[in-house]
A = this chain, B = another copy of it.
């Protein structure tokens, strides 16, 4: 594959995983692509389909190459907690021992790259840097988890929704930047692209509370809403303050 810049070279290295520049496949040299291809399989998941079920034997890892995925846990009576949303380039399956510790469902159409655990073993043997990448991925997730614990354990509904909006806007603006809550001074358009039930189950609230809190934000001129999923953050910095409990 001929490329003109380092950025492109990295991005285009793997035909299976064209996502993030630091995606799993990009620790691998060009000449090894056939080896990589032999160890993975491309999979298409239609919208709404679950493809990992909590408690089932964990045989595979996945790299999300296109679309979005929600990861969640259920209580026996049906209460649901969404642990997070995965995006293009994300690695799925680290939160598993013998069995998966979560369920995963496509949010819209999804393309995945599947690697069996034994494939990953072979790949890490051949590409030691991959081990490091996996550890970094796990660290990144652990950091996010800590923030989510604070959100669910100690924040009010208002703070939770503000956190969510800022988080979403960060992840839209820049893939790498979503780990810190930095936003521009001016208005930001965010496309939530998920129903209210998902927002509620992610924030540990009910859809009614989510709806009411959106209403408050509108009334306070913090956001404007276009349709259902199109949200414009009018004063992102104020939302950041609210998210941190300073608003």
**Complex interface: chain B residues within 8 A of A114 (CB):** none
A interface with B by C-beta (< 8 Å): 73, 75-77, 79-81, 83, 94-97, 101-102, 124, 128, 131-132, 134-135, 138-143, 145-150, 152-155, 179, 201, 203-204, 244-246
Contact of A154 among B80, B94, B124 (CB under 8 A): B80
**Complex interface: chain B residues within 8 A of A132 (CB):** 131
The answer to whether A142 and B244 touch across the interface, beta carbons within 8 angstroms, is no
Contact of A149 among B138, B148, B245 (CB under 8 A): B148
Count of chain copies: 2
The answer to whether A139 and B96 touch across the interface, beta carbons within 8 angstroms, is yes
**Complex interface: chain B residues within 8 A of A134 (CB):** 135
The answer to whether B152 and A97 touch across the interface, beta carbons within 8 angstroms, is no
The answer to whether A139 and B138 touch across the interface, beta carbons within 8 angstroms, is yes
How near does chain B come to A65, taking the closest CB pair, in angstroms?
A: 22
A83→B246 CA distance, assembly (Å)? 22
The answer to whether A73 and B147 touch across the interface, beta carbons within 8 angstroms, is yes
Given contacts A80-B154, A154-B81, contact A97 B143 (CB under 8 A): yes
The answer to whether B244 and A76 touch across the interface, beta carbons within 8 angstroms, is yes
A244→B75 CA distance, assembly (Å)? 7
